[in-house]
Each structure stands twice: as structure tokens, then as C-alpha cells.
Amino acid sequence: MDNESILEEERAKYAELEVLYQNIIDHSTEIENELLENNKTIQMYLDRMRRYLSPQLYEMVTGGTEGETSISHQRRKLTIFFSDIVGFTTITDSIEPEILSDCLNKYLDVMSSIAIKYGGTIDKFIGDAIMIFFGAPSFENDKTHALNCVKMAIEMRDSLPALDEYWRKSGINHNLTCRIGINTGYVTVGNFGTNERMDYTIIGGPVNVASRLEHASDAGEILISNATKSLIDEFIDTKPKGEIVVKGVHTPIETFQVVGLKNDHEKKENPFLKFDNEGFLLKPLHFDKLSTNPEERRLMQHALEKALAALK
């Protein structure tokens, strides 16, 4: 075979390899594009899932092992939070659904952001009602869970005046206030449901107590049990509110109203009370139970208490 024939044969082989290489490149590109599209679809579904799950539960479902996500139940000491909007049923009967939906979603969005900030697991929304718990699926310690829950409740309460303004601009002339109940105790937590649908939630007597505390609290009030108070007493100002009877609980539940963070009022200047070397100046107070928001009530109450203490 002469050199020309050998060269021609090599060229043919090279051409075949070039065609094979190009086919591989084209096929790889198709696979890569298909993978990219599949990844986009998966990410879209994950983003949708994120909106329906608390961050802790989302992480457990998407990042955990099969064993972690199939736990039937555990016995844990948790701090449980319930809240609802005072007079919400009355609002629903008098406001257009579109306006109500927008305002309620705005309220729930703000409350959810605060809950996530403090590490709470959002169990569910039931209309305007919110159920949150601390201590599962991730656990730190009982005191931290209780304190974060109460701090969260205080921030939620203090965020209502701005939301009330948003509601009023939307046409809802209803003094936006909420009731909050908090309790700490041992509950059963885990996945409950069927093979088709599971719900990560909690059950037990302490859950019922927290719900009962919420119903027993006054407008703009945070009511906690003695079990919660004992964990956060060094950080939170409270005052006794009496006892309540809960069905299924043999003894009455001692309750306490949350006033605020201890010494927090010392760090902020009270607009209603000024002290000087000679005494104090108590500014005129105008209280209206419909228009005075919870934060103004708290400042008025503190100003009066400090003034009375100084007089004594």
C-alpha cells in the first residue's frame, strides 16, 4: 500500500472519529439541557414547598434522611403559642373578600417573619388564628425556647399599630388587636396522618392549655402559664392574672400577663413621664379603648406605676 492510500485511510478514520465526537458532544448537550430543565422544575417545586412549610420542617423534608422524615412521634417538652385577631368574625361579615384577603395575608406575612426570626415552627394557620411551637424539630434548651417564644409574642404585639394603619388605609376601620396564649409542657410531636398526606404537628394536654390561655386573654394581652413563667422569670416582667380551669386538667392553671422585657422600659424614654431633680412631670394622658394601641397602653400604664411609686 502506497503512502497516498495510507494517508487517505487515516483521513477517513479521522473523519469517522470527528463525526463520532460531534455526535457525543451533541448528545451530551441534549442531556445537559434536559438536566438543566429538570433542575429548574425541581427547584420550582421546592420553592412552592418552601411556602407551605416552616423552615425547620422544610429542611427536615428536603435535607434529611428517610429515617428522619418518617419519625412517627416523639415525646418532648415544648413551648406552645396560640394567637388570634379580636373580633375577626365581625370583620369578615362586613368587608369585601378581596380586601380582607389582602389585609389578612399582610398580617400573617408579618407574623410569620417574626416567628421565623425567633426560630418558631409554624404549625398552622386557621383563618386569623396562628399556632407555633418551639423545641422541635430542632432542640436547644427549654429556657431558650420559652424566652424566644415570649420575645416573639412581644414583638408581634408591638408590630400591630403599623399593621392597623395598613388595614385602615385599606378600608377596615377595626382596631387591630390580638390575643395570645403561651404554655410549656410535654407533648407528642411528629408526623400524623395517612400514607397519602402527613402533617408534622403536636398533640397533648399542654396544647389545649395554650389554646385556653389564648381564649382567656384580653385584647392586646399576652397570657402565659406558670410553667412558662418559671423559665423566663429573670428576663420578662409579668403580673399575676388569676387562675383558669381547663377541661381535662385536674388543677386550675395559674396565669400571668406579660408586661415586657425586664428593664426594657428603662432603656427607652417614656413619652408620658419625665423625671428631674425636683420630681417628675406626668404628661396629660388621653386613653380611648378603641384607638389607643397596646404599646401606648403599656407606656401609659408604666408611667402611672412609676409616678405612683415615686409618690409613695
In this predicted structure, what is the pLDDT of residue 217?
95
- Total tally of structural domains belonging to the chain: 3
Please check whether residue 62 lies inside any domain of the structure.
no
* pLDDT confidence band for 301 (50 / 70 / 90): confident
Least confident of 49-53, 193-197, 209-213, 262-266: 262-266
Q: What's the pLDDT band for 1 if we cut at 50, 70, 90? A: low
Q: Write the pLDDT tens digit of every residue in 154-181.
A: 999 988 888 988 888 888 888 889 999 9
Residues 47 and 76 reside in one and the same domain: no
Percent of the chain with pLDDT over 70: 90
Contact yes or no for 305/260 (Cβ under 8 A)? no
pLDDT above 70 (res 207)? yes
Same domain, 207 and 119: yes
List the domain range (segments joined by +) for residue 196: 69-263
Are 28 and 102 found together in one domain? no
Identify whether 299 is part of a domain.
yes
Co-location of 175 and 296 in the same domain? no
Residues 197 and 274 in one domain: no
Q: Looking at the domain assignment, is residue 60 inside a domain?
A: no
pLDDT bracket for residue 71 (50, 70, 90): low
Residue 59 in any domain: the answer is: no
pLDDT at 277 over 70: no
Q: Is residue 116 part of a domain?
A: yes
Above 80 in pLDDT, residue 309? Answer: no
Same domain, 274 and 230: no
Answer yes or no: is 137 within a domain.
Answer: yes
Q: Choose from 94-108, 221-235, 238-252, 267-281 the range with maximum mean pLDDT.
A: 221-235
Question: Is 170 found in the same domain as 273?
Answer: no
Q: Do residues 189 and 283 share a domain? A: no
Shared-domain flag, residues 44 and 129: no
Looking at the domain assignment, is residue 88 inside a domain? yes
- Assign residue 112 the CATH number of its domain: 3.30.70.1230
User: Are residues 189 and 88 both part of a single domain?
Assistant: yes
279 and 158 share one domain:
no
Is-above-0.75 flag for pTM?
A: no
Please report the pLDDT score of residue 203 as a whole number: 95
Residue 108 falls within a domain, yes or no? yes
The pLDDT score that the predictor gives to residue 3 is: 64
Comparison of pLDDT for 24 and 151, the residue scoring more: 151
Instruction: Please name the residue that has the C-alpha cell 384577603.
Output: 101
Report, as an integer, the average pLDDT of 11-37.
76
Q: Which of 245, 263, 281 is the last residue of a domain?
A: 263
Model confidence pLDDT, tens digit, residues 211-244: 999 999 999 999 999 999 999 999 999 999 999 9
- Does one domain contain both 96 and 238? yes
pLDDT, position 2: 62
